[in-house]
Amino acid sequence: HHSFVYLNEPGSPIEFRTLKRGQWANKREFLLAVVGEIIGLGNVWRFPYLCFKNGGGVFLVPYVLFLVTCGIPIFFLEVSMGQLTGQGGITCWRKICPLFEGLGYGSQVIMLYTVMYYIVILAWAFLYLFSSFTSELPWARCNNTWNTDDCIDNHLNRSSNGFVFENATSSVEEFWQRRVLGLSGGLEEVGSVRWDLAGCLLLSWIVCYFCIWKGVKSSGKVVYFTATFPYVMMTALLIRGLTLPGAMDGIWFYLSPDPTRLTDPQVWMDAGSQILFSYAVCTGCLASLGSYNKYDNNCYKDAFALCLLNSLTSFVAGFAIFSVLGFMSYELGVDISTVAESGPGLAFIAYPRAVAMMPLPQLWAAFFFIMIIFLGLDSQFVYLEGLVTSISDMYPSFFFAGHRRKLLLLIICGLSLLIGLSMVTEGGLYVFQLFDYYACSGIPLMVFAILETLCIGWIYGADHYYNNVADMIGYRPWPYMKYCWRFITPAGILLFSLVNFTPLRYNNTYQYPWWGYALGLFLAFSSVFMAPLWFLYSLAVTPGTLRKTKKNKTRKTLSNTQQHKTQMHKMKQFLRTWMQLFFTVITTVNVYMSPSYSSVPELLMVSSTSAGKHQPSHRFNIIVILKSTLPGSLIFIWRQREVHL
């Protein structure tokens, strides 16, 4: 017995609304849109560096483990939820479990922060691309107006005996810091707007607007080019990189296995965080994209195919990056560890530096930055599409009439552009990193990932959700997925999130002022608090434990009568099981943190009954863990305030 009717039931109101709302013209458009969203800059500039840093090929062990137990289950959950309900990232929760609708609002806050800051990377890349069309790359020499007396050219970056000058700065670093950013001394010195960057930012927003201004009718066609062209560029860069001297040394550094690294908890945390952050989960965007699917689309197979493609792209991108870094270390006569970087440092310092040493550097620089632009562009406009979809679905009769949806898109783009101007000032990079570190990663994504899986696994019911999925795709998925939702996924995320609070530092040297940390935590918890606030609000204004959706005329409510009767029993079972698991995790982590245990194998041998032998250190370490949460963060900020005052 299923508790809903088909979306495509002839004559139903939802059939009319689907036509007004829009739908993918074919399955390829959906697949390419998701590829454009999840395959972005993190695949190129983060995964290869993490693999190199964390034991080479050995890093794939925890990475694949987290992929199977966390990445694919959450990815499938969100896509299928959007397809099942035919709704965006907010209203899908209203149909699944109204008490948890706050997860939808919180995820949209994350997505709004993401579209505000992520597009700044496109502005940087556009400026580098325009600078590549010169007779000589401007970052290759020190004969420019922005260079200092300490600047040295790339080809002079080494003396005759191989000694690297200690106080010197390379021409590519000065181009990035002094020409592009005009970097100030800190967040306290915001400075003036860099108008060339502001122009590139405006260009990026104009392109994004026209990519999705007609909804999936336009974005579904744009992704044919934006999602595939980066692969063409990556293939060209890979072939060129493999033909350079020193390329094999770079690839060996990338993949050389170091099994001892598996005993380091940081390796496992890096693997888990990379999976969570690179799959665009917990932002509501996947639900929005899935909502444009046909009701009977096999989203189960799609989830596996897309996740594997994402991870494979990350792995192959490492060859393209490290073959070039190996060439640069060969040319400079230094160890590759001194030139390998992650994040913007790779895209705007290390790789341009290597390109400047190649024959035809302008061509390869243009190829690289075109790839960066397209990787960022489709992620950006798909996020924007998801945000507009979620807001429009809340008031469909209003936004789907006339040109109001286009006006909503224009307002979001305009406001985001104004806020984004703060990130193209002389202190803009410090603002950018606050958004990147606090608002769009870390705490918010981990909290929402845990709550999403617990809601479906326990509150709504994994078996009940499997019945819904079976009605869509024609069969029940492999049972391992529901065990991941109920136990493995939330427990795994909880484990690698129980770490001490580490305040953001720029370049590992600059410490933000106390009010900078306060702003970062406000950005983080402004989305997180949406879930509990909505939960309390719903309990306060409606009777019972679940809101009853009375006006759902297009489909019977997904929470049927029988589920309402068993809701309290499920809630009690859920609380009892997870309280036991929480205290087991806390005990295990504290045993590991004590001096008696120094490696993961020793940790795995510890049972909960042996924890009593270490009570003194447990009390201390529980305090350490509590300091990593919100109260500890606030105490840290207050202490920083006292220091600065």
177-224 pLDDT tens trace: 999 999 999 999 999 999 999 999 999 999 999 999 988 888 999 999
The highest-confidence range among 212-226, 294-308, 557-571, by mean pLDDT, is 294-308
In percent, how much of the chain has pLDDT > 90?
59
Task: Give the residue extent of every domain in the chain.
Answer: 13-154+170-183+194-497+529-541, 568-644
The predicted structure's pLDDT at residue 72:
97
Is residue 585 pLDDT above 60, yes or no?
no
| 13 or 69: which leads in pLDDT | 69
Mean pLDDT (the chain) is 82
Q: Is 598 buried (19+), middle (13-18) or exposed (0-12) by CB count in 10 A?
A: exposed
Query: Which secondary structure element, helix H or strand E, spans residue 505, and what is its range?
Result: strand 505-506
Report which of 228, 254, 278, 210 is spatially closest to residue 71, judged by C-alpha positions: 278
Q: If you average pLDDT over residues 629-633, what whole number do you get?
A: 45
Instruction: Answer yes or no: are the C-beta atoms of 225 and 28 closer than 8 Å.
Output: no
Is residue 271 pLDDT above 70, yes or no?
yes
The predicted structure's pLDDT at residue 578:
56
Q: If you average pLDDT over residues 400-404, what whole number do you get?
A: 85
| 159 or 294: which leads in pLDDT | 294
Residue 504 and residue 511: Cα distance in Å, rounded? Answer: 7
Q: If you average pLDDT over residues 85-95, what whole number do you get?
A: 94
**Band of residue 539 on the pLDDT scale cut at 50, 70, 90:** confident
Chain Cα centroid distance, residue 455:
21
**Band of residue 339 on the pLDDT scale cut at 50, 70, 90:** confident
Scanning the structure block, which residue is given the tokens 């060129």? 240
Topology (CATH) of 13-154+170-183+194-497+529-541: Amino acid/polyamine transporter I (1.20.1740)
Residue 149 annotated as part of some ligand binding site: no
Residue 106 annotated as part of some ligand binding site: no
Token code pair at residue 120 = 């700044």
Q: If you average pLDDT over residues 391-398, what whole number do you get?
A: 92
Q: If you average pLDDT over residues 459-471, what whole number do you get?
A: 95
Residue 628 annotated as part of some ligand binding site: no
Q: Which long-range contacts (CB under 8 A, 24 or more apart) does 188-192 make?
A: 188/427, 188/513, 189/426, 189/427, 190/422, 190/425, 190/426, 190/427, 190/428, 190/431, 191/425, 191/426, 191/427, 192/425, 192/426
| 290 or 558: which leads in pLDDT | 290
Report which of 299, 283, 328, 237 is spatially closest to residue 115, judged by C-alpha positions: 283
Q: If you average pLDDT over residues 383-406, what whole number do you get?
A: 91
The predicted structure's pLDDT at residue 455:
95
Who contacts 406 (Cβ-Cβ below 8 Å, separation ≥6)? 213, 214
Residue 406 and residue 403: Cα distance in Å, rounded? Answer: 5
The predicted structure's pLDDT at residue 565:
44
Residue 467 and residue 471: Cα distance in Å, rounded? Answer: 6
Q: If you average pLDDT over residues 139-154, what whole number do you get?
A: 88
Scanning the structure block, which residue is given the tokens 């529901």? 482
Is residue 20 pLDDT above 70, yes or no?
no
Residues β-bridged to residue 265? none
Who contacts 147 (Cβ-Cβ below 8 Å, separation ≥6)? 171, 174, 178
Q: Is 489 buried (19+), middle (13-18) or exposed (0-12) by CB count in 10 A?
A: buried
The predicted structure's pLDDT at residue 614:
38
Query: Which secondary structure element, helix H or strand E, spans residue 218, and what is its range?
Result: helix 216-226
Q: If you average pLDDT over residues 248-277, what whole number do you get?
A: 89
The predicted structure's pLDDT at residue 266:
83
The predicted structure's pLDDT at residue 153:
81
Residue 40 and residue 33: Cα distance in Å, rounded? Answer: 12
- Helix 443-454 / helix 514-528 crossing angle, nearest 10 deg: 20
**Band of residue 499 on the pLDDT scale cut at 50, 70, 90:** low
The predicted structure's pLDDT at residue 103:
96
The predicted structure's pLDDT at residue 334:
86
The predicted structure's pLDDT at residue 605:
34
The predicted structure's pLDDT at residue 6:
39
The predicted structure's pLDDT at residue 269:
84
- Backbone phi, psi, residue 554, to 5°: -90, -20
The predicted structure's pLDDT at residue 337:
83
Q: If you average pLDDT over residues 427-435, what whole number do you get?
A: 96
Scanning the structure block, which residue is given the tokens 């888990």? 272
The predicted structure's pLDDT at residue 560:
45
Residues β-bridged to residue 506? 510
The predicted structure's pLDDT at residue 343:
80
**Band of residue 509 on the pLDDT scale cut at 50, 70, 90:** confident
**Band of residue 643 on the pLDDT scale cut at 50, 70, 90:** very low
Token code pair at residue 555 = 């489909």
Residue 26 annotated as part of some ligand binding site: no
Is residue 561 pLDDT above 90, yes or no?
no
Is residue 226 pLDDT above 90, yes or no?
yes
Half-sphere exposure of residue 93, counting CA atoms within 13 Å on the CB side?
Answer: 27
Residue 498 annotated as part of some ligand binding site: no
The highest-confidence range among 46-50, 367-371, 569-573, 584-588, by mean pLDDT, is 367-371
Q: If you average pLDDT over residues 283-295, what whole number do you get?
A: 95
Q: If you average pLDDT over residues 63-90, what whole number do you get?
A: 96
Q: If you average pLDDT over residues 64-79, what whole number do you get?
A: 96
**Band of residue 433 on the pLDDT scale cut at 50, 70, 90:** very high
Q: If you average pLDDT over residues 541-570, what whole number do you get?
A: 46
Chain Cα centroid distance, residue 502:
19
Q: If you average pLDDT over residues 544-563, what whole number do you get?
A: 41
Q: If you average pLDDT over residues 235-255, what whole number do you get?
A: 93
What is the 3-class SS of 559-585, one letter each residue? CCHHHHHCHHHHHHHHHHHHHHHHHHH
Residue 310 annotated as part of some ligand binding site: yes
Query: Which secondary structure element, helix H or strand E, spans residue 424, and what is its range?
Result: none
Q: If you average pLDDT over residues 320-348, what whole number do you get?
A: 87
Residue 36 annotated as part of some ligand binding site: yes
| 107 or 631: which leads in pLDDT | 107
The predicted structure's pLDDT at residue 500:
58
Could you tell me the CA-to-CA distances from 618 to 184, 264, 495, 498 in Å, in that order? 44, 21, 17, 14
The predicted structure's pLDDT at residue 574:
56
